[in-house]
């Protein structure tokens, strides 16, 4: 093996070398749990590329089927509570609404954990403002409807609640409780929390809100009240879309039904 000249070896040893020195500065602290949200976020394109267990169309179909299944479940619970257990109609309706509400809460938990579907809701202050806006819009619809009826000199037919009140075993307190609690809870769960939520997976929010509101109005089977019910359904749908929660629309629905019940039952007391 041929040896290299000593001068060449000395020149190689004199080449300056850049040493690697780890930079342990003050900013290199352990990542806290609260600091994770300040890290880099995925873009919308990256999030869209994440695979889901169900596609958008499958989630929409699932929402439609589930909504009508809940309607059938509510009817089945009413029959079970009234016919088998001998519970009164109003108590049975409240039990059925409570069962459906707990189902929806459990269902939302499963959607979040298993299907990785999370909702970004609003703050409490924003929801309170939204509730006030929704109630105001509902009153505008009610006042406009009454004004048009007076212009046309038209008296709508008796509502289903009025027909129920004519029965001996159906009291004002019972009807009031049904309108204020049972109806708002199960209707908002079915039409907003499940049906509209499913439609929004593959349709635009506007289309989903109008479609759900229309179905909400038609399913009451009251031709005289159909148009205002559709408008109210759209208002509740708008509230759900803004808040991503059924509770603001449940509260607004309950307040509207409360004042409507006071107006309705006042006529029976006279």
- Point out the least confidently predicted range of 26-30, 116-120, 213-217, 263-267: 26-30
State yes or no: pLDDT of 33 exceeds 50. Answer: no
State yes or no: pLDDT of 59 exceeds 50. Answer: yes
Domains in the chain: boundaries: 55-269
Q: At what angle do helices 226-243 and 124-152 cross, to 10 degrees?
A: 170
State yes or no: pLDDT of 49 exceeds 70. Answer: no
Q: Which residue has the tokens 């999370």?
A: 118
pLDDT band at 75 (very low <50, low <70, confident <90, very high): very high
- Point out the least confidently predicted range of 9-13, 71-75, 140-144, 155-159: 9-13
Nearest residue to 185 (alpha-carbon basis) of 72, 111, 74, 100: 100
State yes or no: pLDDT of 10 exceeds 90. Answer: no
d(CA 92, CA 255): 22
Percent of the chain with pLDDT over 70: 70
Buried b or exposed e, range 241-259, using 16+ CB within 10 angstroms: bbbebbbbbbbbbbbbbee
Burial class (CB in 10 A: 0-12, 13-18, 19+), 178: buried
Nearest residue to 96 (alpha-carbon basis) of 83, 80, 108, 109: 80
CA geometry: angle 54, 240, 257, nearest 5 deg:
135
d(CA 128, CA 215): 27
Nearest residue to 99 (alpha-carbon basis) of 190, 179, 160: 190
d(CA 99, CA 102): 5
When pLDDT is averaged across residues 59-68 and rounded to a whole number, the result is: 93
pLDDT band at 171 (very low <50, low <70, confident <90, very high): low
- Point out the least confidently predicted range of 32-41, 47-56, 209-218, 247-256: 32-41
- Point out the least confidently predicted range of 101-110, 118-127, 192-201, 209-218: 118-127
pLDDT band at 145 (very low <50, low <70, confident <90, very high): very high
State yes or no: pLDDT of 12 exceeds 60. Answer: no
d(CA 65, CA 69): 6
The per-residue pLDDT of the chain, averaged, comes to: 80
State yes or no: pLDDT of 232 exceeds 90. Answer: yes
- Give the residue with greater pLDDT, 40 vs 166: 166
Helix (H, G, I), strand (E, B) or coil at 168: coil
C-beta pairs of 145-149 under 8 Å, 24+ apart in sequence: 145/227, 145/228
Q: What is the DSSP letter of 5?
A: P
When pLDDT is averaged across residues 96-115 and rounded to a whole number, the result is: 86
Task: Centre a 10 Å sphere on the Cβ of residue 166 and count the other Cβ atoms it contains.
Answer: 9
């Amino acid at each position: 093996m041929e040896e290299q000249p000593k001068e060449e070896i000395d020149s190689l040893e004199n080449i300056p070398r850049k040493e690697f020195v780890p930079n342990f500065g003050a900013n290199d602290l352990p990542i806290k749990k609260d600091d994770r949200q300040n890290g880099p976020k995925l873009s919308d394109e990256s999030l869209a590329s994440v695979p889901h267990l169900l596609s958008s169309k499958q989630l929409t179909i699932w929402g439609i089927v589930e909504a009508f299944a809940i309607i059938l479940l509510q009817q089945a619970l009413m029959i079970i509570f009234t016919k088998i257990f001998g519970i009164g109609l109003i108590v049975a309706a409240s039990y059925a609404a409570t069962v459906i509400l707990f189902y929806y809460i459990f269902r939302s938990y499963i959607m979040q954990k298993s299907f990785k579907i999370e909702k970004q809701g609003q703050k409490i202050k924003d929801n309170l403002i939204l509730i006030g806006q929704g109630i105001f819009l509902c009153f505008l619809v009610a006042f406009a409807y009454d004004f048009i009826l007076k212009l046309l000199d038209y008296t709508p037919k008796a509502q289903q609640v009025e027909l129920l009140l004519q029965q001996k075993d159906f009291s004002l307190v019972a009807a009031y409780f049904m309108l204020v609690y049972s109806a708002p809870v199960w209707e908002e769960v079915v039409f907003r929390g499940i049906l509209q939520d499913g439609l929004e997976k593959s349709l635009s929010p506007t289309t989903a809100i109008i479609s759900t509101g229309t179905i909400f109005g038609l399913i009451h089977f009251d031709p005289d009240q159909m148009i205002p019910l559709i408008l109210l359904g759209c208002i509740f749908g708008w509230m759900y879309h803004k808040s991503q929660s059924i509770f603001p629309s449940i509260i607004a629905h309950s307040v509207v039904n409360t004042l409507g019940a006071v107006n309705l039952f006042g006529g029976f007391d006279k």
